[in-house]
Structure 1
Amino acid sequence: MQALFWISAFLLFYTYIGYGLLLLLVNAFFKKKSSVDENLLPVVTFVVPAYNEEEIIRQKVENTLALDYPAKKISFVFVTDGSTDKTPEIIRDYPQIFLLHQQNREGKSAAVNRAMRNVKSSVVVFSDANTMVHPQSVRKLVRHYADENIGGVSGEKRVAANDYSAVGFGEKLYWQYESRLKKANSDFYTIVGAAGELFSLRTQLFRPLKSSVILDDFVLSATVCLQGFRFLYEPAAFGVEASSATIGEEHKRKRRISAGCYQALFALPSLLNIFKNGRLAFQYVSHRVLRWVLCPLALPALLVSSAVLFVRTSNSVYVIGFWLQVLFYFLTGLGLLLAKQKKALTRPLLLPAYFVFMVLSQYAGFCRFVTGRQTPVWEKARRLPAAGDKAQP
């Protein structure tokens, strides 16, 4: 029980705190740099897969057409396969957009593959239909391609959220934490997993996705890394996305993402080859594998082991460890109960609630993966009203 306690505690600390601190320390002495060229303006194709987005698609198209990039060097491809609402009709109002539409819906990965067959540019940028992109983002992404070792560049996801919502506040803080960790990974060597809301890659490095792939953004960026290229993180290129409308809607989204994580773990075993991909494998295990596989097990193991040791021993370490966890879960429940109060005093309580919610979603995602119930075609989560001009300067 003592071994279980200390192993679980170490895994949780290292994954969520220690790894980030280690990267910051290493980067302070050995920061990996890449050259940029602010005047580099390659030909770019901007790709947006969309499914039944009639409520937001006009805003997305206008946001896309407002990007600050030479008109002769950028083209736009929207894919609306399977949409049964007015999404395709709205896009047809804009002759600048090349629309791909078919009645069959085969999932986002299949839509991306279809779009890529129409891409002739040297760089392709992907963005989600519900993400409003800052006008300078494409310029900020492509300037890194002056370095021939850079195969892709991810932008930053920002969440426009209700700060008194357990979903909105928790997701917002999570992405602020995740963005800092991605930047530290990028400075160290590479990120492993682009932000699907906005990322780019060299077109020649694209490899067609299997239609069964759930997390296309992760698989595409990981594939670029496995070809020996770095994938950078550029916070100055960002997109704003509204948070999920309810905790139930967010659960659907997190459950799907978690199932995709486990799928990717088995689909890309070469990422674990530390002899061939030393730094990449270290980052992948530290940032992804531990969080996906061991931490969901370590959390209940820590609680059970500390409870047993609390009963069996009088060691103050285990006593304190047990009561700290009791306090944590008490605050989690309290945060959920008081979330509707919408007071500033309750906001800190929303963080432990969102953390526990994420872990529970991982369990659900794993069950959907092993039972094969999570397909690449899913019911999209409802979100709060669009972020609008918050992506503007």
Structure 2
Amino acid sequence: MEILLLLCIGLVVYTYLGYGVVVWALIKLRPKRPAVSDVSADYMPEVTLIVPAYNELDCLPAKVENSLGQHYPREKIHFLFVTEGSTDGSDDWLRANYGDAIDILGGTERRGKVAAMNMAMQQVKTPIVIFTDANTQLNLDAVRNIVRHFRDPQVGAVAGEKRIQTTDSESAAGSGEGLYWKYESQLKRWDAELHTIVGAAGELFAVRTDLYEPVSPNTILDDFMISLLIAGRGYRVAYEPDAYALERPSFSIIDEQKRKIRIAAGGFQSIVWLKKLLNPFRYGVLTFEYVSHRVMRWAVTPLCLPLILLLNLGLVLRDGWQVDSPWSWLLVGQVFFYGASWLGYLLEKRQLRWKAVFVPFYFTFMNVCALAGLVRYLRGNQSGTWEKVRRASAVDALT
């Protein structure tokens, strides 16, 4: 039990801390990657900005203006809004107000975001395509900053940064989500510096049009699958933190829970569908990054955490409580940690906020949702059609 307990603890520590340290050290030991040059007049390829927008009429006015306001030559950027299946009048509103400035792909049948993206790609004639969600706001240099990476022929895709807008009075879910994405962003910087990032965020990412592979309409994490398929073909997926999408946190802990469980189910689906990437003899550094950053976080750590608690409890019951035993104090620490997590959950459900408990709360919350996502995936009752999650009310966006 002691060996198994130490092994589980080591896996958890490696997943959340050790991997970052290892990647940072490897970066320091290798030659620094050349800096990406700014976009210049001799490299401004045509791009298409695709915005899937199912029943997003409340977001569309701000999204269209934000898209049209991008600092990129107007004659070289095309806009395609995909409203297929919308029932809130999005299609009519776009045509009436912006029909001359943007292209609109409508339709009466809702087939899901992935099917909409696959259809939209059939209309793209530019060498680069950028995907962004309707409920996000991009900084106005986002397109310029993403495009410059494609000077390198080895770059097949570029991921922007997702930023969560929170206020001092946000819920624990929102604050935890923001902290999590700051940590994720740093890991992505290091991944990109070492070799390639492993999975783009759907809020903002770009691909070379000729490298886009249509994925199954049942795909849950389309952004992750599309970018990893490109990486699996030997191309790098670059990361551009100065191209970012601003998004509000989930409206409530229930909304955030739905979103996290769905993402976790998509993670397990992706692991199965991308099992070829688990071969280090073929994919080398990509496999190292993929397993360490994604597979362990989705499929290993969530299973290790309950094992750590149970094994620790078993050792204390076997040996009895001993003041000088590290197992006794480890159990005390776990009880306090999960107690703080439970307190954070109870407070959040009552709309009471205490930042002192949101880190243990959000960490536990993510891993519990991962286990629930595993159950959902195994049951096979998850489709590729997203259930729209409510977001907190808007705050002033950065541009």
- The TM-score bracket by the shorter chain reads over 0.9
Check 1:168–1:34 CA distance in 2 against 1; reply closer, same or farther (3 A cut). same
2-side partners of 1:383 and 1:226: how far apart? 34
- Equivalence for 1:362: 370
Normalising by structure 1, report the TM-score: 0.96
Instruction: Give me the whole-angstrom Cα distance separating, in 1, the residues matched to 2:132 and 2:31.
Output: 29
Does residue 265 of the first structure (1) align with residue 274 of the second (2)? no
Is the CA contact 1:130–1:386 (under 8 Å) kept in the aligned structure 2? no
Looking at structure 2, the residues matched to 214 and 33 of structure 1 have their Cα atoms a distance apart, in angstroms, of 33
Partner of 1:98: 103
| Deviation (angstroms), 1:342 | 5.6
- Secondary structure of the residue aligned to 1:53 is coil
CA distance in 1 between partners of 2:333 and 2:185 (Å): 28
Work out whether residues 56 and 386 of structure 1, in 8 Å CA contact, stay in contact via their aligned partners in 2.
no
Which residue pairs with 1:8 in the alignment? 8
**Aligned partners of 1:31 and 1:187 also within 8 Å:** no
CA separation in 2, counterparts of 1:316 and 1:106? 58
- Equivalent of 1:383, from 386, 391, 399? 391
Check whether the contact 1:239–1:391 (CA below 8 A) recurs between aligned residues.
Answer: no
CA-to-partner distance for each residue in 1:206-248, whole Å, 9 max, x for gaps? 0111111111100110011011000011111101001110111
CA distance in 2 between counterparts of 1:391 and 1:225 reads 31
Tell me whether 1:30 sits opposite 2:30 in the alignment.
Answer: yes
TM-score between the two structures when normalised by the length of structure 2: 0.94
Distance 1:58 1:167, change over 3 A: same
Cα pair distance change 1:170/1:50, threshold 3 Å: same
Per the TM alignment, residue 165 of structure 1 is displaced from its structure 2 partner at its CA by 0.3
Give the superposition deviation at 1:275.
Answer: 0.7
- Give the alignment partner of residue 224 of structure 1, picking from 224, 230, 240: 230
CA RMSD of superposed structures (Å):
1.5
SS at match of 1:153: strand
CA distance in 1, matches of 2:213, 2:12: 35
Q: Any conservation in 2 of the 1:58–1:90 contact (CA below 8 Å)?
A: no
> Is contact 2:303-2:371 (8 Å) kept?
no
Code of the aligned partner of 1:100? L
Letter in 1 for 2:297: R
In 1, distance between residues paired with 2:166 and 2:365? Answer: 17
Q: Percent identity?
A: 44
Instruction: Report what 2:280 is aligned to.
Output: 274
Instruction: Give the secondary-structure state (helix, strand or coil) at the position aligned to 2:280.
Output: coil
Residue of structure 2 in register with 1:78 after alignment? 81
Instruction: Please give the per-residue CA displacement for 1:96-139, whole angstroms capped at 9, x wherever unaligned.
Output: 11000111111111011011001111111110111100000111
1:247-266 pair list within 5 angstroms: 247-266=253-272
Q: Which amino acid aligns with 1:61?
A: V
1:338 is displaced (CA, Å) by 4.0
Q: Output the CA distance in 1 between the equivalents of 2:35 and 2:305.
A: 42
CA distance in 2 between counterparts of 1:35 and 1:169 reads: 32
Picking from 75, 98, 109, the partner of 2:114 is: 109
Give 1:321 shift. 1.3
| 1:200 maps to 2:206 | yes
3-state DSSP of counterpart to 1:125: strand
Q: Match for residue 125 of structure 1?
A: 130
Please give the alpha-carbon distance, in whole angstroms, between the structure 2 residues aligned to 1:74 and 1:55.
Answer: 24
Cα separation, 2, equivalents of 1:170 and 1:239: 18
How big is the shift at 1:90? 2.2
Tell me how far apart the structure 2 counterparts of residues 150 and 268 of structure 1 sit (CA, whole Å): 20
What corresponds to 2:172 in structure 1?
166
Distance 1:261 1:34, change over 3 A: farther
User: Counterparts of 2:223 and 2:135 in 1: how far apart (Å)?
Assistant: 15
Aligned residues: 389
